Amino acid sequence: RKEVEQDPGPFNVPEGATVAFNCTYSNSASQSFFWYRQDCRKEPKLLMSVYSSGNEDGRFTAQLNRASQYISLLIRDSKLSDSATYLCVVNPLYNFNKFYFGSGTKLNVKP
């Protein structure tokens, strides 16, 4: 079973829409969780860390569900510039120095 699994998409949404992605992880002892954004042929960039209580940053909201072992990302009022691939990243408790990446969910925001 893969450490981190994501729906590859693509999610095609109109501007202004709300869209949500989920990511499941296999290791219940996972410690830290992140959402990164990757534009085509560019490096990953941190979008937000995901905290146990959930957290919000502007139009972006991240949630963690430890019981079901998934994290989610909600994007409200989508902009054209949100078009990218969103990567779920997990850091296991047993290894602080190793990070597992999901294969990413592609988002296309259309005018």
Partner 1 sequence: EPEVTQTPSHQVTQMGQEVILRCVPISNHLYFYWYRQILGQKVEFLVSFYNNEISEKSEIFDDQFSVERPDGSNFTLKIRSTKLEDSAMYFCASRRGGDEQFFGPGTRLTVL
User: Which parts of this chain interact with partner 1 (CB under 8 A)?
Assistant: 32, 34, 38, 41-46, 49, 87, 91, 95, 97-104
Closer residue to partner 1 (CB): 78 or 90: 90
Least Å from the CB of residue 85 to partner 1: 10
Closer residue to partner 1 (CB): 40 or 67: 40
Dihedral over alpha carbons 78, 32, 99, 44 (to 10 degrees): 20
Closer residue to partner 1 (CB): 43 or 53: 43
Phi then psi dihedrals of residue 50, to 5 deg: -115, 120
Least Å from the CB of residue 62 to partner 1: 13
Least Å from the CB of residue 77 to partner 1: 25
Closer residue to partner 1 (CB): 15 or 56: 56
What does the alpha-carbon distance between residue 44 and residue 94 come to, in Å, rounded to a whole number?
24
DSSP-derived 3-state class of residue 60 = strand
Least Å from the CB of residue 45 to partner 1: 7
What does the alpha-carbon distance between residue 4 and residue 17 come to, in Å, rounded to a whole number?
26
Residue 26 per-residue DSSP state: S
Cβ atoms < 10 Å from Cβ of 101:
16
